[in-house]
C-alpha cells in the first residue's frame, strides 16, 4: 500500500491506487495544515470553468425574463434555476455576428456551435479553421497543474456529413485548442470514467478489470479503511458522500454495459452508453462533478446535442425531434411546445447545479467556486439568427461574480466580449476573444 499520509497533513494530490486505477480524493480538511494561510483565511480553492451548449436556440419570448436587474422574475423556461437565484445571471442582447455567412440553413447551424466559445468565423474548405475557444484559453492558465487540462464531453456520435463546404468539426465539438485543432468530444461515460480514474495502465489491464467486474472502490478498499481511521469526523462524512457518488456512477455505467450484447445487428454499440437519453445526460453531468470535485480537471465543455440533432426526449412530454420542433413556423402552439423542451433541458442543467451546490469546497460549495456558461449559438431556430442569444451564467466564480441578476445589454452587443469578461472573473489574463472589442461589465 502506498504511503499516502504525511505526519502533518494529507496531500491535495493523494491517490489511492488499485488494479489499473488511481482514485483522486475530494478536498478534505485533513489536506490543509492548520498553520497555512488557507486555513487561517478560509480562502476559496481555484475556480472551475465550464461551458454547456444546446442547439437550435429557444422560444425567446418564454426564455427572457420580463424585468431586468436584481430580483428579476424567472421566465417560464428558466424557472428550474430559481432555487439557485443568488448564483444565476441571465444575459440578454448578446450576439455572434460572425456566425452569419453564405449558404443555407445547414451552414448557419454549423457556424452557430463553431462561434459559441470562439467568437470566430468558421472557414469553408477541406481543412477546418476557426480559432481558440475560451475554455482552452482558460486551460492554458488553470489546467496546467491538474492531471487533465480540460475535459470535453458530448451525448451524440460525431456527424460524418455536414454540407455547404463546412467541416463536421464545427458541429462535432465546441472546443478548439487553436485555429487548426478541434478537440474531440467523448460521449461514452465508461471511457470518461476510465479517463478520469485510470493511472496510465494498459488497455489490456483495464479490459481485464472490467471482465472481472472489479469495482474501482473494491480495488482500493484496504487503503480506504486505513485512510478513514485517520480522518476527523467531518472528513469522514465528506469522504463517504463522495464514495457513494462514485459507486452510484459505477453502477449506472455497469447497468448500461449489461444491455450490450453480441447481437450482430448492433455490433458497433458503445459499451457503457445508456439507452435512456436523460440518464446519459445526467451521467455526463455527474462525471463533470466528480472531475471538478477531485480537481482531476477544473475545466470542462459539454455538447448536450449537436446542431441539426434529431434527438427525441420522451421524459419532456414532447415527442417531436429537437431540430424539427425548432422550426415552429411562427405558430404559437409550436413555440409553446418548443418552450417545454427548452425548459426540460434547463431542468437537467439545474440537476447539475444542484449537485455542485451540495458539495463543500473551501468555505463554500463547488457551485460557489465555479463559473459556468449555459446557452446556444442560435437564437430563433426558425429564422436561424444569432442574436439575441439565450445565455445564462451560473456560479460565483470564487466570489468575483454577483448573482440574482438579469443583465440586459444594448442590442447586438458582442458575445465575444462576455467571453473575455468570463476569463477575467476566473483570473485568466486575456485581452480578446474572436471579434471582441471590450470586456462587458458583469
> Cα(251)–Cα(241) distance, rounded to whole angstroms?
15
Q: Is 144 helix (H, G, I), strand (E, B) or coil?
A: coil
Q: What is the largest CA-CA distance in the chain?
A: 69
Q: Which helix (H) or strand (E) holds 265?
A: none
Q: Summarize pLDDT for 143-170 with one digit per residue, the tens.
A: 988 889 999 999 999 988 888 889 999 9
Q: What is the mean pLDDT of the chain?
A: 86
What pLDDT band is residue 203 in, cutting at 50, 70 and 90?
low
> Cα(85)–Cα(412) distance, rounded to whole angstroms?
26
Residue with cell 480537481: 295
Tell me if 201 sits within 8 A of 21, measured CB to CB. yes
Q: What percent of the chain has pLDDT over 70?
A: 82
Task: Please check the confidence at residue 396 and state whether its pLDDT lies above 50.
Answer: yes
Least confident of 65-69, 259-263, 308-312, 385-389: 259-263
Tell me if 311 sits within 8 A of 275, measured CB to CB. no
Task: Please check the confidence at residue 4 and state whether its pLDDT lies above 70.
Answer: no
> Cα(339)–Cα(336) distance, rounded to whole angstroms?
5
Give the count of beta carbons closer than 10 Å to the beta carbon of residue 273.
Answer: 21
Least confident of 75-79, 92-96, 192-196, 412-416: 192-196
Tell me if 195 sits within 8 A of 148, measured CB to CB. yes
**Does CATH place domain 45-187+273-425 in 3.90.1580.10?**
no
Q: Summarize pLDDT for 171-182 with one digit per residue, the tens.
A: 999 999 999 999
Tell me if 59 sits within 8 A of 342, measured CB to CB. yes
Tell me if 257 sits within 8 A of 239, measured CB to CB. no
Q: Summarize pLDDT for 285-333 with one digit per residue, the tens.
A: 999 999 999 899 999 999 999 999 999 999 999 999 999 999 999 999 9
What's the pLDDT score for residue 214?
55
Q: What is the CA radius of gyration of the chain?
A: 22
What's the pLDDT score for residue 6?
40
Task: Please check the confidence at residue 7 and state whether its pLDDT lies above 60.
Answer: no
What's the pLDDT score for residue 237?
77
> Cα(54)–Cα(306) distance, rounded to whole angstroms?
7
Q: Which helix (H) or strand (E) holds 176?
A: strand 176-178
Tell me if 312 sits within 8 A of 341, measured CB to CB. no
What pLDDT band is residue 33 in, cutting at 50, 70 and 90?
low
Phi–psi pair at 29, nearest 5 degrees: -60, -35
Section 386-392 average pLDDT: 98
> Cα(117)–Cα(175) distance, rounded to whole angstroms?
7
Domain residue extents for the chain: 15-41+190-271, 45-187+273-425
What's the pLDDT score for residue 272?
65
Tell me if 330 sits within 8 A of 382, measured CB to CB. yes
Amino acid at each position: 500500500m502506498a504511503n499516502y499520509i504525511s505526519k502533518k497533513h494529507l496531500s491535495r494530490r493523494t491517490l489511492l491506487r488499485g488494479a489499473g486505477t488511481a482514485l483522486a480524493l475530494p478536498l478534505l480538511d485533513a489536506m490543509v495544515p492548520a498553520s497555512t494561510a488557507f486555513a487561517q483565511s478560509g480562502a476559496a480553492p481555484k475556480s472551475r470553468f465550464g461551458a454547456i451548449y444546446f442547439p437550435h436556440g429557444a422560444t425567446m419570448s418564454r426564455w427572457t425574463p420580463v424585468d431586468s436587474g436584481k430580483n428579476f422574475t424567472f421566465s417560464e423556461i428558466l424557472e428550474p434555476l430559481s432555487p439557485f437565484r443568488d448564483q444565476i445571471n441571465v444575459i440578454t442582447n448578446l450576439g455572434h455576428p460572425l456566425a452569419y455567412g453564405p449558404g443555407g440553413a445547414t451552414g448557419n447551424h454549423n457556424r452557430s456551435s463553431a462561434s459559441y466559445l470562439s467568437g470566430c468565423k468558421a472557414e469553408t474548405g477541406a481543412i477546418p479553421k476557426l480559432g481558440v475557444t475560451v475554455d482552452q484559453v482558460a486551460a492554458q492558465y488553470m489546467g496546467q497543474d491538474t492531471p487533465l487540462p480540460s475535459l470535453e464531453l458530448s451525448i451524440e456520435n460525431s456527424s460524418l456529413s455536414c454540407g455547404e463546404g463546412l467541416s463536421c468539426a464545427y458541429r462535432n465539438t465546441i472546443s478548439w485548442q487553436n485555429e487548426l485543432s478541434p478537440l474531440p468530444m467523448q460521449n461514452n461515460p465508461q471511457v470518461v470514467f476510465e479517463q478520469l480514474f485510470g493511472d496510465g495502465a494498459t488497455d489490456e489491464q483495464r479490459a481485464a478489470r472490467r471482465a472481472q467486474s472489479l469495482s474501482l472502490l473494491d480495488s482500493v478498499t484496504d487503503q480506504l479503511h486505513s485512510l478513514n481511521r485517520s480522518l476527523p469526523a467531518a472528513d469522514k462524512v465528506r469522504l463517504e458522500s463522495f464514495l457513494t457518488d462514485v459507486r452510484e456512477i459505477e453502477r449506472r455505467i455497469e447497468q448500461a454495459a449489461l444491455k450490450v450484447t453480441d447481437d450482430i445487428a448492433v455490433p458497433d454499440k458503445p459499451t457503457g452508453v445508456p439507452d435512456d437519453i436523460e440518464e446519459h445526460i445526467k451521467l455526463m453531468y455527474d462525471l463533470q462533478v466528480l472531475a471538478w470535485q477531485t480537481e482531476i480537471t477544473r475545466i470542462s465543455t459539454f455538447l448536450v446535442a449537436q446542431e441539426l440533432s434529431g434527438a427525441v426526449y420522451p421524459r419532456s412530454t414532447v415527442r417531436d425531434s429537437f431540430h424539427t420542433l425548432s422550426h415552429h413556423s411562427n405558430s404559437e402552439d409550436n413555440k409553446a411546445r418548443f418552450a417545454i423542451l427548452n425548459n426540460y433541458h434547463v431542468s437537467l442543467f439545474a440537476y447539475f447545479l444542484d449537485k455542485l451546490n451540495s458539495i463543500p469546497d473551501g468555505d463554500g460549495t463547488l457551485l460557489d467556486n465555479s463559473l459556468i456558461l449555459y446557452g446556444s449559438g442560435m437564437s430563433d431556430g426558425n429564422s436561424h439568427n444569432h442574436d439575441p442569444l439565450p445565455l445564462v451564467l451560473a456560479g460565483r466564480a470564487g466570489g468575483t461574480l454577483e448573482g440574482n441578476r438579469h443583465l440586459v445589454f444594448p442590442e447586438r452587443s458582442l458575445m465575444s466580449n462576455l467571453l473575455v469578461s468570463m476569463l477575467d472573473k476566473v483570473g485568466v489574463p486575456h485581452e480578446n476573444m474572436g471579434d471582441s472589442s471590450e470586456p462587458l461589465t458583469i
